[in-house]
A and B are shown apart, each in its own frame.
Chain A
Amino acid sequence: MAKITVDGETFEVPDNSMLLPVLLDRGLQVPHYCYHPKLSIDGSCRMCLVKVEGLPKLTISCNTPVRDGMVVDTRGPEVTKARQGVLELLLVNHPLDCPICDQAGECYLQDYAFEYGRRAARTQEPRRKLLKRVDVGPRVVLDQERCILCRRCVRFCKEITETRELGVFNLGDQSVVDIFPDEPLANDYSINTADICPVGALLSKDFHHKMRVWFLDETESVCPNCSNGCNIKIGAARGDVYRFLPRRNDEVNDTWMCDAGRLGYRFVNEHRLREPRVRRANASAVTSWDEALHEAANRLGDLVRRGEPSALATIVSPHLTNEELFTLGQLIGGGLRSTQHDVAVITGAADDFLIKAEKAANARGAHDLGLGAGANGTTIASIRDGITAGTIRGLLVTGTDVWDLWGSEAAAILARLEVLVVVAPNAHPLVDLAHVALPGLTFAEKNGTFTNHAGRVQRIHRALDPGSQPSDGEVFLQLGRRLGMEVAPGVFEPRRIFTEIARQVPAYNALNWDALGNLGALTTDG
């Protein structure tokens, strides 16, 4: 440990660390552009200048190792004046694009210009004209005029993705960030360059000119699109989700997330089911929740009452939270008295960084809670065979992933069923086939937990208000009660159910809802 004095305050810091991260960890406001905790040190922006006693000149804190007895000044007049000078030079050629720039509102240049900038420019020369709206890749757009050449994006492509698409071309004041000819910035993590860009030079095409960032309400959550469970912030406004941003969690995703996950938010906004439907004599009609639940319980319960619970099976959605899955488990065991269930997980491409093969957030959770195959020998395939053979006549489906798993035969298989009850958040051909279709909620409208592939249990928070629409868990609870499931009275309350999970599932014994925090906690299996 080294003892350093900053602005008159003495504290201990670990040896071998650089000064800037130490200052930022203390909550000191040191302006910086090129420094990023997960990238190598570049020292190109010169904004993090501080005064260190004993050194002849001001020094950049990002590249100054701490030393025992160091005395640092981060806000004296000398430092402030130097930063003002650096900022003025950065702004010499920066266009006045703020009104049309998506970065406005979360732009480091704006923030520091507010703090250190002059009101008016002292230069009279015309500003440098460079290329605007350069199509550097399928998901990212580049504006060279706005770039301040901090090279975060270049280092990201070199060090994190190791694809090296971006580079700084030309010399001196002709320098520009660009791609090599015919080699677009198309790696699976390309939008991260837009995140780390401190100004509006690199922007996500998907979010381009969609919404001002200051209107977005940011909610901490977990990416629902694969089992890696990258920590995200959901940016929502006017009842719609506009973007996902990665949130730092060194145990899971550092500060990154993949493009596919980031762009997979549309299902929250589009083609949603809002009202339950019941199909009678081939005509499907919107009904009240009460009537639909009654109908679903009646039809499923009919098979149970006839003494044929073995004719019932359940397809479990890996998109549900642990609490909902637990309630679904109670419904299957206590209400349907069935033992046939499996999780329908779509698998896809994976890499050795963040992208995992299971394209759902909570497949691990479903297995941990005993809803997967193996617990009872039933698999998705055996359920399909059972339906084809006529031994399974009633099916409760949560989510719609099974449709893709069964491929082109799905419609024909499902049409053989006597009873098909579907709980799903989005419109889908599978929902159209259902005898009773009950709308579910997406992850953005729920509180709960997901368990990622490595067994890390992480909280998700409600970003959008679903109004009076019940969550999937509430639907399972209501359905179960109508089928005679024995559960404690009360509504579906994730916190209470999580406590119940922690008591009943051995791997979750050590977990506590309040202690999960915003970074999650590992199960004992993980």
Chain B
Amino acid sequence: MDTIGPLAILRGLAVTTTHFFRNLFGFIRGKPTIFTVQYPEELQKVSSAFRGMPVLVQMPNGKERCVACGLCEWACPVDCITIYPAETEEDIERYPDVFDIDMSRCMFCGLCEEACPEEAIVMSQRVAIATTDWRGSVWHKQDLLTPAAELETRLTHIRRGYERAATPTVPAVRDKP
């Protein structure tokens, strides 16, 4: 195709003009065909495999599901998670007294979610982490707590993953020699 010369300019203009009129008539008919998303009023629809910022799952009683086992902290390749565990009188005797994620360091890899034995930290679909200072990029436990209902899609997604992982890789003990 000839991409040099005045013909190319006309070709390009034809594309934009076509889109302009298609959008214009679309608005008039009430069926816009544009692909622009009106952020932040409107959010992009993403798949359940999408990894946004990690958040803590909140149980119906308002508490975190996290037991501060420290596996996410260990798994994190950029060391952005800091946990200080503490003891409670409740049945599950351990909880995170401090649970901080430095979002400016987080690289959204999802290893914390994979390491978590309690489904307590999951990758949400939230991506808005911009702040006006460095200090603001550290998210504390209260900021991270998200009701489980809001995270249903992701929780379903990771549970599907467990089933795949449950395929035994260690040979089972045979009952008879």
Contact = CB atoms under 8 A, between A and B. Distances in A.
To the question of whether A and B form a pair in one complex, the answer is yes
Interface of A: 81, 84-85, 88, 98-100, 104, 117-120, 132-133, 208-212, 214-215
Interface string B77-97: 000000001110000111000
Given A84-B173, A104-B69, A209-B86, A98 B93 contact: no
Nearest to B69: A99
B173 A99 contact: no
B5 interface: no
A119 B168 contact: yes
Contact of B173 (A81, A132, A133, A211): A81
A294 to B, nearest CB: 39
A212 B70 contact: yes
6 closest Cβ pairs, A-B complex: A99-B69, A212-B70, A100-B94, A209-B87, A209-B85, A100-B67
A506 B174 CA distance: 68
A425 to B, nearest CB: 25
Contacts of A212: 69-70, 73-74, 85
Nearest to B82: A238
B85 to A, nearest CB: 5
Contacts of B170: 117-119
Given A99-B94, A133-B93, 6 more contacts: A81-B177, A85-B173, A99-B71, A120-B166, A209-B93, A214-B70
Contacts of B166: 119-120
Nearest to B175: A122
B173 to A, nearest CB: 5
Given A210-B85, A212-B74, A100 B168 contact: no
Interface residue SS majority, chain B: loop
Interface residues of B, number: 22
27 contacts: A81-B177, A84-B173, A88-B173, A98-B69, A98-B117, A99-B67, A99-B71, A99-B117, A100-B92, A100-B94, A104-B69, A118-B170, A118-B173, A119-B168, A119-B170, A132-B93, A133-B93, A208-B87, A209-B85, A211-B85, A212-B69, A212-B70, A212-B85, A214-B70, A215-B70, A215-B73, A215-B74
B4 interface: no
B10 interface: no
B122 to A, nearest CB: 16
Contacts of A120: 166, 168
A132 B172 CA distance: 32
B163 to A, nearest CB: 13
A203 to B, nearest CB: 11
Contacts of A100: 67, 69, 92-94
A100 B88 CA distance: 12
B152 interface: no
Given A81-B173, A99-B71, A209 B168 contact: no
Contacts of B118: 99
Contacts of A119: 166, 168-170
Residue in B73, B118, B170 whose Cβ sees the most chain A Cβ within 10 Å: B170
Nearest to A208: B87
Contacts of B94: 99-100, 209
Nearest to A210: B85
Contacts of B74: 212, 214-215
A211 B86 CA distance: 9
A331 B69 CA distance: 51
A236 to B, nearest CB: 15
A1 B59 CA distance: 65
A57 to B, nearest CB: 15
Contacts of B93: 100, 132-133, 209
Contacts of B71: 99
Q: Which of B68, B69, B74, B177 has the most CB of A within 10 A?
A: B69
Nearest to A87: B173
Nearest to A80: B173
A98 B69 CA distance: 8
A210 B97 CA distance: 10
Contacts of A88: 173
B91 to A, nearest CB: 9
A278 B26 CA distance: 80
